[in-house]
Amino acid sequence: MQERELPLWEVFIRSRTGLNHRHVGSLHAADAAMAIQNARDLYCRRQEGIGIWVVESAAIHASDPADKDALFDPAEDKIYRHPTFYDVPDGVENI
Amino acid sequence: MTTCDQKDLFTYVLRLGDSGLVLGQRLSEWVGKAPMLEEEMALANMALDMVGQARNFLSYAGEVEGRGRGEDALAMHRDVGSFSNLLLVEQPNRDFAYTMVRQYFYASFAERLFEQLQHSADSRLAGIAAKAVKECRYHARHSGLWLVRLGDGTEESHQRVARALEDLWPYTGELFEMDEVDRRLLEAGVAADVQAMRTEWREALNQVLVEARLPLPSDEIWMHSGGRIGRHSEHLGHLLATMQILPRSYPDANW
């Protein structure tokens, strides 16, 4: 359709109830202002959010799927890292 | 309920409804063929906003008239000569630049109009305006950004937006016209003083155009007029034919 595609942006929306911005998808836009406008039109049609972040997709550095084993498998047998080995006294509501 | 002539009020509200409806229909013509998906959604959103505003105005107009005509009857069962929308909004889409210039002209005007109407002595009108003003503010921002991008973009986009500006400019005079109906309702505290908004509207436009590297057209040219009293360009009939064919062919159609 377009001869030159506009840059891709990743969109993060802060929901009405949630605390964190959450990744919801991506879109094309010429710059940040247009990306926020497009995010409003694409991802906030049903009152999904009260805040928008956009980041140029090119600015995101991702881990290599091929490194999956080296990166994530070593954690597999370290169950002691999970906070499940404590006795929580009955009277404590939040920890 | 305010103390003003109900026929005047009907005319006034109908004009607001008709402009919203016709512009909404025009914008919806982009659905399925916008230059990019993101803009397709933006155009459809704006179209829905305009039709939503029109529904509110036309329903109210029907009630004021008191002859049992609802929003659908007013939208779908009137002919060209009974429509009282601004000539600007019935102008064809032509290209994206035209659509954005037309949108900016109207939205920047409507934003100011509804800002005032929020304080109308007619509480129903004030309520509709309070909802519409936010929508029009967004439309003005969106289309204004596009004017800057197109004007300060490529050679072709600059040429196209410059041509749209020149061609649509003669339709902007009508936005600020006031006739007897407007004056009587203004006196009653119901209508807005659109004449007084012209300078501010122009100043806001000028700021956009400076950034877009486009010249501000002169007011000292001949301006089209007549939409508000039912004298339309040839384009409106075609638009209505498309919009009205279903309810006219199947009067009791339901879905």
pLDDT in tens, chain B (255 residues): 457 899 999 999 999 999 999 999 999 999 999 988 999 999 999 999 999 999 999 999 999 999 999 999 999 999 999 999 999 999 999 999 999 999 999 999 999 999 999 999 999 999 999 999 999 999 999 999 999 999 999 999 999 999 999 999 999 999 999 999 999 999 999 999 999 999 999 999 999 999 999 999 998 899 999 999 999 999 999 999 999 999 999 987 877
- Decide if A93 is inside a domain: no
Residue with tokens 């600007």: B88
Angstroms from B154 CA to nearest CA on chain A: 13
ipTM: 0.72
Within 10 A of B37 (CB to CB), how many other CB atoms are there? 13
Question: Do residues B106 and B118 touch, judged by C-beta distance below 8 A?
Answer: no
**CA B183 – CA B191 distance, rounded (Å):** 8
On whether any CB of chain B is under 8 Å from the CB of A38, the answer is yes
CATH code where residue A49 lies: 3.10.20.520
pTM of the model: 0.89
Residue with tokens 């202002």: A33
Query: Does residue B150 sit in helix, strand or coil?
Result: helix
Q: How far is CA A44 from CA A39, A71, B48, B135, B251, in A?
A: 7, 35, 15, 14, 36
Q: Answer whether B41 sits within 8 Å of A37, measured CB to CB.
A: no
**CA B28 – CA A18 distance, rounded (Å):** 34
| Cβ neighbours of B149 in A, within 8 Å | 30, 34
Q: Which domain holds residue A23?
A: 3-85
Number of domains making up chain A? 1
- Decide if A48 is inside a domain: yes
- Decide if A91 is inside a domain: no
CATH code of the domain made up of B6-249: 1.20.1260.10
**CA A45 – CA A70 distance, rounded (Å):** 41
Query: Does residue A90 sit in helix, strand or coil?
Result: coil
| Cβ neighbours of A6 in B, within 8 Å | 36
